[in-house]
Amino acid sequence: MSQTIVIDPVTRLEGHGKITIQLNNQGEVEDAHFHVTQVRGFEKFAQGRPFYEMPSLMARICGICPVSHLIASAKACEAIMSVDIPYTAAQLRRMLNLAQMVQSHALSFFYLASPDLLLGMESDPATRHIFGVVGAKPELGRAGIALRRFGQHIIELLGSKRIHPGWVVPGGVTEPLSADKRDETLGMIPEAYANVHLALSEYKKIADNFKTEIDVFANFPTYFMGLINEDESIAFTDGALRLIDAKGNIVDDGITASRFTQVIGEAVESYSYTKFAYYKPLGYPEGCYRVGPLARLNIAKSMGTPLADKELAEFRQLADGPLQGSFHYHHARLIEILYGIERIEQILSDPLILDKHVRATAGVNRLEGAGQAEAPRGTLMHNYKVDSDGKITWANLVIATGQNNKAMDLGVLQAAKHYIKDGRFSEGILNRIEAVVRTFDPCLSCSTHAFGQMPLDISLLSCDGQIIDRVIR
Amino acid sequence: MSENVEVKTLTIDGHEVSARRGQTILEVARENNISIPTLCHLDGLTDVGACRLCLVEIAGVSKLLPSCVTTVYEGMEVHTDSERLQKHRRTILELLFTERNHICSVCVANGHCELQSLAQSQGLTHVRLPYRNPDLSVDASHERFTLDHNRCILCTRCVRVCAEIEGAHVWDVMGRGINSLIISDLHENWGASSCTRCGKCVQVCPTGALFDKSKVGSEHPKYPDFLPYLNLMRESQ
Ligand code: FES
């Protein structure tokens, strides 16, 4: 008898999702999917609003990565205004984006993933959480909490609010940085270094225990996309996108925000509210790619900071060419945290960082604009069209999680096929399958910002797992 | 005080106070540090008694009366803070919130909004009535300012400041009851109207309905206190 296993909700993610696994008569995995089950509607309710409201409106999509939305949105608005923002404003925004990356990665690694990594995939689910980690490895638990606070605190210092700072506006930022705040931030840096070094060395000690997970957690060739600077170093706020294939060859380069929609398409599948992004010249699903920490580290020639570059060199040793296993996202995240701290320190040491000129002004000079940035979990693009008064007539957002969607889906299938044999599975096995999704650190709230004619597929399962009713819209 | 000014004595919330003839209850209360919540009233503009937030109870009068337009009389006994009044005030605020689309979290006036702070000070924790969610437009045609009907509470402060202080009378009210709408000139786009671009209406607007385009990102304090000074300066000339 065929059977459907449903993991709902998938835990330790940002948002709501579920996984279904379809078994055949022999108890083998036939198919598996990761579903995002929530609906939002931001692209709809942006319509009719003045474009200059977009950054603070769009930031509400997400409480984890509001800063990336603020930045991508402000950049799209600046394209509409046709302005270049002042140098210091650009530096401050870079710092804000990095601070958010550090806190979000700390959340992903320490709060969501480390219970699996440090306590074990099979450990008691009742204690498999951050408090369990603090209990078992107090030093590391504390380091994680401190790193998250480090990022949060910088966001709060700059934007005077931890979660939805209204500080980033079209044209720059509202307030310059004060010397006090700069010095306070610089004072937090040494501790942040110590914490990330501790995490890196601990991770390297345990990584070998996860050979199987590395092999079967979404480990397959795909394309990768991410932002790089002109010197081919990693970028989060500036630069243009590069797409490479699984061997590391450049497939497309210099993808600016305005070209993004020409080359990236979005497909819809009936089982998820999140769209599936793909590279148009290759079509769907062949043109699906991965974004986020692993993609960025596979693409960038260097990090551009000394300590992170050393770590990158070591990371590169793990494979010949781009790393394919999504388990490595965890490692990549730690290297990016280190990079973030180094860059924040560099930016704060810039003599112009306290400059008072931090905002450019202009009206509507173009009727369409797009902006892109790297969110912690991958590339984010906002695209708006406005009328001559600057009111939004159309908006489209392409979110990191949508770009990783296909890989997560296939990754769930790969892991399910490996672990589920003869229809037998345990809690630890289901946790491993969830953990595949966790490597990507998807943000489901972000990914389902859109609203409209989305397909809906509801399956009604009897207690023995048989589908007894099904509604498709 | 000149000879022919008549002095009235009355009580407000049990305090004996004295007032000049023709003063409103609100004026007298504020002179004596007794606070009465208001929304459509603004020092320096004529009162219209539109919002009813300043309602008070007067002994011997069965109706509740707006203190901003009710003048004092000898022996008057006023109560400003009974449970009945608090309930009415909260209901008025609830009705204001349900009438249009007030979404504080993404509003430019968040943290600087009179409607928002009144809701807090009056202890409004829930809105029990269904929201109307009307489909209202935004007029962004003006070079410097924006009018968002979604956040307008029809207090008409903008209408009065433009007519009485600026002397331009660009703003007025169109329609009736719940369909009323603030319009510029004869329902022209603001940008195409006879607006003098002085910005007084923006400063007196209690919510985020009128705002300065350069002040986005929930950082839009307003400074309506310029009005009494302006009047004072004009009178002294
Ligand atoms: S303040 Fe008196 S009615 Fe509005």
Return d(Cα A3, Cα A422) in angstroms, integer.
12
DSSP code string of A161-230 = SSSS---EETTEESSPPPHHHHHHHHHHHHHHHHHHHHHHHHHHHHGGGGHHHHHHSSBS--EEEEEE-T
Contact A361 B191 (CB under 8 A): no
- Provide the token pair at B21: 């003839």
pLDDT at B105: 83
**Tokens 């799209």 — which residue?**
A76
Min Cα–Cα distance to chain B from A78, Å: 14
pLDDT at A26: 77
* Average pLDDT of the residues of chain A: 86
- The highest-confidence range among A27-41, A46-60, A150-164, B31-45, by mean pLDDT, is B31-45
Read off the pLDDT band of A171 (50, 70, 90): very high
pLDDT tens digits along A67-108: 999 999 999 999 999 999 999 999 999 999 999 999 999 988
Min Cα–Cα distance to chain A from B106, Å: 6
Any idea which fold B86-236 has? Alpha-Beta Plaits (3.30.70)
Q: Where in chain B is the domain with CATH 3.30.70.20?
A: 86-236
Alpha carbon distances (Å) from A5 to A22, A24, A34, B226: 6, 11, 12, 68
For residues A254 and A243, is the Cβ–Cβ distance under 8 A?
no
CA of A70: which chain B residue's CA is closest?
Answer: B217
HSE at residue B5, side-chain half, CA atoms within 13 A, is 9
Over residues B166-178, the mean pLDDT reads: 95
SS3 state of residue A321: coil
**How much distance in Å is there from the Cα of B7 to the middle of ligand 1?**
24
Which helix or strand (DSSP H or E) is residue B79 part of? strand B77-79
**How much distance in Å is there from the Cα of B44 to the middle of ligand 1?**
14
Q: What is the DSSP letter of B72?
A: P
Domains detected in chain A: 3-447 (1.10.645.10)
Q: How many CB pairs under 8 A join A and B?
A: 42
Read off the pLDDT band of A121 (50, 70, 90): confident
- Is the minimum distance from the CB of B89 to ligand 1 under 6 angstroms? no
Burial B111-148 (b: 16+ CB within 10 A, else e): ebbbbbebbeebebeebeeeeeeeeeebbbbbeebbbb
- H-type alpha helices, A322-449: 329-348, 400-403, 405-419, 427-439, 444-447
Over residues A285-303, the mean pLDDT reads: 95
pLDDT tens digits along B50-108: 999 999 999 999 999 999 999 999 999 999 999 999 999 999 999 999 999 998 888 88
pLDDT at A457: 36
Over residues A362-386, the mean pLDDT reads: 95
**Tokens 């048989």 — which residue?**
A466
Residue B212, pLDDT > 80, answer yes
- Provide the token pair at B40: 């459509």
Read off the pLDDT band of A11 (50, 70, 90): low
Put simply, whether B233 touches A (Cβ < 8 Å) is no
Reference A68, options A37, A111, A104; nearest CA is A104
Query: Which residue from A56, A170, A390 is facing B140, i.e. has the nearest CB?
Result: A390
DSSP code string of A96-145 = HHHHHHHHHHHIIIIIIIHHHHHH-TTS-GGG-SHHHHHHH-HHHHHHHH
Q: Starting at the edge strand that comes first in sequence, how are the strands of the sheet with A368-375 ordered?
A: A368-375, A378-386, A392-398
pLDDT tens digits along B9-41: 999 999 999 999 999 999 999 999 999 999 999
Return d(Cα A334, Cα A348) in angstroms, integer.
21
Residues 346-365 of A with CB under 8 A from B: 361, 363
In angstroms, what is the C-alpha Rg of chain B? 19
- Is the minimum distance from the CB of B224 to ligand 1 under 6 angstroms? no
Put simply, whether B191 touches A (Cβ < 8 Å) is yes
Residue A180, pLDDT > 60, answer yes
For residues A147 and A193, is the Cβ–Cβ distance under 8 A?
no
Return d(Cα A365, Cα A170) in angstroms, integer.
13
Contact A50 B146 (CB under 8 A): yes
Over residues A226-249, the mean pLDDT reads: 96
Residues 123-182 of B with CB under 8 A from A: 137-141, 143, 146
The neighbour count for residue A301, using CB atoms within 10 Å, is: 12
- Provide the token pair at B159: 């209408």
In angstroms, what is the C-alpha Rg of chain A? 22
pLDDT at A24: 80
Whether the pTM exceeds 0.90: the reply is no
Burial (CB < 10 A; 0-12, 13-18, 19+), residue A298, is: buried
- Provide the token pair at B171: 């703003």
Indicate the range of A232-236, A272-276, A283-287, A320-324 predicted with least confidence. Answer: A272-276
- Is the minimum distance from the CB of B68 to ligand 1 under 6 angstroms? yes
Any idea which fold B7-81 has? Ubiquitin-like (UB roll) (3.10.20)
Put simply, whether B103 touches A (Cβ < 8 Å) is no
DSSP code string of A28-66 = -EEEEEEEE-----HHHHTTTSBGGGHHHHHGGG-SSSH
Contact A164 B105 (CB under 8 A): yes
CA of A159: which chain B residue's CA is closest?
Answer: B217
Return d(Cα A107, Cα A103) in angstroms, integer.
6
pLDDT at A1: 54
Read off the pLDDT band of A143 (50, 70, 90): very high
Min Cα–Cα distance to chain B from A51, Å: 10
Return d(Cα A228, Cα A235) in angstroms, integer.
5
Q: Where in chain B is the domain with CATH 3.10.20.740?
A: 7-81
- Is the minimum distance from the CB of B40 to ligand 1 under 6 angstroms? yes
Return d(Cα A443, Cα A100) in angstroms, integer.
14
- Provide the token pair at B8: 């009235």
pLDDT at A447: 52
Q: What is the DSSP letter of B165?
A: I
**Tokens 């986020």 — which residue?**
A292
Contact A390 B143 (CB under 8 A): no
- Greatest alpha-carbon span in chain A: 71
**How much distance in Å is there from the Cα of B154 to the middle of ligand 1?**
12
Put simply, whether B218 touches A (Cβ < 8 Å) is yes
Over residues A292-306, the mean pLDDT reads: 97
Over residues A39-65, the mean pLDDT reads: 82
Return d(Cα B225, Cα B161) in angstroms, integer.
12
pLDDT tens digits along B109-120: 988 999 999 999
Return d(Cα A230, Cα B114) in angstroms, integer.
49
pLDDT over 70, % of chain A: 88
Return d(Cα A417, Cα A424) in angstroms, integer.
11
